[in-house]
Amino acid sequence: MAVGSGDLGTLHPVPGITMAAVSAGIKQQGRLDCVVFALGTSAKTAGVFTTNAFCAAPVTLCKKHLAQTSPQFLVVNTGNANAGTGQQGIEDALTVCLKIAELKNLPVNTILPFSTGVIGEQLPVEKICNVIPDALDNLQENNWLDCARGIMTTDTRPKAASTQVQLNGQTVTITGIAKGAGMIKPNMATMLAYVFTDAKIEEEVIQSLLENAVNKSFNRITIDSDTSTNDSCLLTATGENSVQVTQDSTEFIEALDAVFISLAQGLIRDAEGASKFVTVKVEEGASKEECLELAYTVAESPLVKTALFASDPNWGRILAAVGRAGIQDLDIDKIAIYLGELCIVENGGAAPLYSEAAGQQVMDREEINIRITLGRGSATETIWTSDLSHDYVTINAEYRT
Amino acid sequence: MAVGSGDLGTLHPVPGITMAAVSAGIKQQGRLDCVVFALGTSAKTAGVFTTNAFCAAPVTLCKKHLAQTSPQFLVVNTGNANAGTGQQGIEDALTVCLKIAELKNLPVNTILPFSTGVIGEQLPVEKICNVIPDALDNLQENNWLDCARGIMTTDTRPKAASTQVQLNGQTVTITGIAKGAGMIKPNMATMLAYVFTDAKIEEEVIQSLLENAVNKSFNRITIDSDTSTNDSCLLTATGENSVQVTQDSTEFIEALDAVFISLAQGLIRDAEGASKFVTVKVEEGASKEECLELAYTVAESPLVKTALFASDPNWGRILAAVGRAGIQDLDIDKIAIYLGELCIVENGGAAPLYSEAAGQQVMDREEINIRITLGRGSATETIWTSDLSHDYVTINAEYRT
């Protein structure tokens, strides 16, 4: 199951970036499971990573390499997360980096490693190293779709987004890919996402552009409230284009945010077992923090999620979730709750004009908006989530078999 | 599904307490859905209630009445929660109390009302009032099982616990019933639980005995992390027995706690769709708060819960949940994780002696212990939970149909 068409539109090449997806046979022969990106020598890259204390070995190594120098290659494998693997895990991730470093005659810290898949098994280093020469021989500038497929695990379809903006009379391109369908409540990062642009962005600017974009996109989604050990999100600017981007480049920032939001929503539309795409918006809060807290409490409630799956306008469950979110001094008489355009709760009880038939009409939709107004301030937050279906249980009960 | 035999043992009468369960036909003709307890004039009662801001009308009224005087009757209906029902809900709950007050010639505030069931529908007051005379005519001292059945909603079996202790050469009895199978993460209260004793307990003592017992039992369980709008838990001491209980009555307190823990565990064993009874124990924490936080993060992780359902020793999911619990300065090298008696994680990675076959043997059990040692203090907490199965989704997707 997945929500919406999944049509990715045109995926524009980004001058300076080449890529390849190959099969290392990690979990399955012939499946694309190893992806390499070449970034070029002038590229600037920023990254955000999982806040999980048990972060995976490649995450530890990525952060270390990124702090030392500008990366020139990214290497990603699926089928194995290289997490919970101790010191051996670090050595294994380093061995994969070394393979590329030797073949390309580069320092090892210019290579960033990424892994995603089952936690707690040692990385099949040999399988990966064996196919790296093949990947390096086949780097192309327009292989987005294969690479988006090559980083998938329980995803049912590839996620990618691309846009072009005119800046100072020049065309600037932004293209990215992402993966993730479960264990999704990113915290300063997502499962795996790589976004590239040919704009010029200085190092002191690119990290804050990335963090801002992530806070509007990957840090506003939740599938099952679980934060992965491997979440990583990178933004690379090749600088092949002469357009210089700064903190004030509004048009570029809007285009960048749109690509990030499209990728993040793409994860939700393809969430494990998803049959609904749900937007939860909290308005009139005293602070952004309380809006987020409340939105997540609703979005992560198993009872709200199963009602969404059943298309059941059981709004009492939304009300119960709002009530237990732990917001200080909440005055329920000031709260209104909307399902789509329909007011379902006001003044602490059912809205007088609400009817079950009208509620059913909204719940039957594939895309559902839940809007909660608190009447105690001007803060607003929006997050996106999916429903909780039989397929979610099946997928996660059978993942390793 | 439910875990364990559900055998309730002997349910002893409590001198001074009589009860009746009748059918008001609220959702289904002939089903026991209305329960009345008579407590007697000398009984002392303490209560704890949901912290949900959208608390139900009967909860609001219960708190008010309990603050004014000692209750003499409890009246409970299922099939309708009388929550999210606004001012009408308060009036409806009061009407039910008035019916008993009139028939028994008592002030209305000596009656405590309780409701459980669907949120957001108006209470069928007439149906309930119609059967109250019948209930009052049939009060008996040993009708625990019918009353435990009469407060059930999605429960598949009644929950009750009973014990007797010898104090000062006299037999003191403690007997209680409870209900709840979903929307269970009680906060200072559970779904519905009523515990009775014939001991003498002063008003200033009984509330703290109740709160202590609840903190070891109902406040240590979670099914789906949802806190109900209607949670209520009462402890009544009739004082028919001459034994006086104080804060120092260790034997009595141990017996009381055992009844509460048995009832709370009974809810988990019959959790919606449960096929596993899971104990999560966190040891060597810096504080009880962080032990609880971590235990709940593991117990509520949908990925851990689906792995438990699948009997899959996918310990990486436990490790990932521990890592994302947000504990400050967690040193993963000091953490060990045990599945039953088996060490699965130590020093930040898989335990050297761990084998998949040994892990499988533990996960195949119906009752599973997960123990996490943090190596940073002496605090300990234990909570109980269930797995996340297809039946949970089915039950909650079809609850209102």
Write a three-state SS string for chain A: CCCCCCCCCCCCCCCCCEEEEECCCCCCCCCCCEEEEECCCCCEEEEEECCCCCCCHHHHHHHHHHHHCCCCEEEEEECECCCCEHHHHHHHHHHHHHHHHHHHCCCHHHEEEEEECCCCCCCCHHHHHHHHHHHHHCCECCCHHHHHHHCCCCCCCCEEEEEEEEECCEEEEEEEEEECCCCCCCCCCCCEEEEEECCEECHHHHHHHHHHHHHCCHHHEECCCCCCCCCEEEEEECCCCCCEECCCCHHHHHHHHHHHHHHHHHHHHCCCCCCCEEEEEEEEECCHHHHHHHHHHHHHCHHHHHHHHCCCCCCHHHHHHHHCCCCCCCCHHHCEEEECCEEEEECCEECCCCCHHHHHHHHCCCEEEEEEECCCCCEEEEEEEECCCHHHHHHHHCCCC
Nearest CA in chain B to A88: B349
> In the predicted model, what is the mean pLDDT of residues A161-185?
88
Report domain extents, chain B. 18-269, 277-397
Worst-scoring range by mean pLDDT, A118-132, A168-182, A370-384?
Answer: A168-182
Residue linked to tokens 């990335």: A210
> In the predicted model, what is the mean pLDDT of residues A141-165?
93
Nearest CA in chain B to A119: B316
Please identify among residues 219-278 of chain A the ones whose CB lies closer than 8 Å to any CB of chain B.
224-229
> In the predicted model, what is the mean pLDDT of residues B247-275?
91
Tokens (6 digits) for A160 = 């990618």
pLDDT at position B187 is 59
What ipTM did this prediction achieve?
0.81
Nearest-Cα distance to chain B for A205, in Å, is: 29
Residue B142 forms contact with A (CB below 8 Å): no
Selecting from B84, B301, B396 the residue whose C-beta is nearest the C-beta of A316 gives B84
pLDDT at position B190 is 56
Residue A46 has pLDDT above 90, yes or no: yes
Q: Which of B190, B197, B227, B229 is flagged as catalytic?
A: B190
In chain A, what is the greatest distance between 2 CA atoms, to the nearest angstrom? 72
The domain defined by A277-397 carries CATH number 3.10.20.340: yes
Residue B375 has pLDDT above 80, yes or no: yes
Residue B188 has pLDDT above 50, yes or no: no
Q: From chain A, pick out residues whose CB is under 8 angstroms from the CB of B320.
A: 52, 54, 83, 119, 183, 226-229
Instruction: Find all residues with CB under 8 Å of B151, minimum gap 6, and list them.
Output: B35, B76, B78, B116, B177, B178, B179, B192
In chain B, what is the greatest distance between 2 CA atoms, to the nearest angstrom? 72
Selecting from A53, A226, A315 the residue whose C-beta is nearest the C-beta of B301 gives A226
Q: From chain A, pick out residues whose CB is under 8 angstroms from the CB of B390.
A: 390, 393-394
CB contact under 8 A, B389 and A390: no
Residue B235 has pLDDT above 90, yes or no: yes
pLDDT at position B191 is 73
pLDDT at position B4 is 82
CB contact under 8 A, B187 and A120: no
Report the alpha-carbon distance of residue B96 to residue B76 in Å, rounded. Answer: 10
Q: Three-class SS of residue B27?
A: coil
CB contact under 8 A, B319 and A119: yes
Residue A188 has pLDDT above 50, yes or no: no
Residue A84 forms contact with B (CB below 8 Å): yes
> In the predicted model, what is the mean pLDDT of residues B267-272?
89
pLDDT at position A388 is 93
Say yes or no: do domains A18-269 and A277-397 share a fold.
no
Residue A187 forms contact with B (CB below 8 Å): yes
Residue A1 has pLDDT above 70, yes or no: no
Tokens (6 digits) for A224 = 């099952």
Answer yes or no: are the C-beta atoms of A271 and A182 closer than 8 Å. yes
Instruction: Quickly state the pLDDT bin for A225 (edges 50, 70, 90).
Output: confident
Q: From chain A, pick out residues whose CB is under 8 angstroms from the CB of B323.
A: 52-55, 227, 229
**B272 DSSP 8-state letter:** T
The pLDDT tens digits for A333-355 are 899 999 999 999 998 788 888 89
> In the predicted model, what is the mean pLDDT of residues B348-371?
91
Average model confidence (pLDDT) across chain A? 91
> In the predicted model, what is the mean pLDDT of residues A139-165?
93
Beta bridge partners of A20: A36
Tokens (6 digits) for B332 = 């993963």
Thinking of the domain A18-269, which architecture would CATH place it in?
4-Layer Sandwich (3.60)
The proportion of chain B whose per-residue pLDDT surpasses 70, expressed as a percent, equals 98
Tell how far CA A53 is from the center of its chain.
Answer: 19
The pLDDT tens digits for B214-225 are 988 888 888 887
The proportion of chain B whose per-residue pLDDT surpasses 90, expressed as a percent, equals 68
Residue B262 has pLDDT above 50, yes or no: yes
Is B173 known to be catalytic? no
Beta bridge partners of A159: A178
Residue B275 has pLDDT above 70, yes or no: yes
The pLDDT tens digits for A253-273 are 999 999 999 998 988 898 888
Dihedrals phi, psi of B315, to nearest 5 degrees:
-65, -15
The pLDDT tens digits for A53-75 are 888 999 999 999 999 999 999 99
The pLDDT tens digits for A18-39 are 999 999 999 999 999 999 999 9
Beta bridge partners of A165: A172
The pLDDT tens digits for B24-36 are 999 999 999 999 9
Residue A364 has pLDDT above 90, yes or no: yes
The pLDDT tens digits for B71-129 are 999 999 999 999 988 899 999 999 999 999 999 999 999 999 999 988 888 999 999 99
Instruction: Quickly state the pLDDT bin for A111 (edges 50, 70, 90).
Output: very high
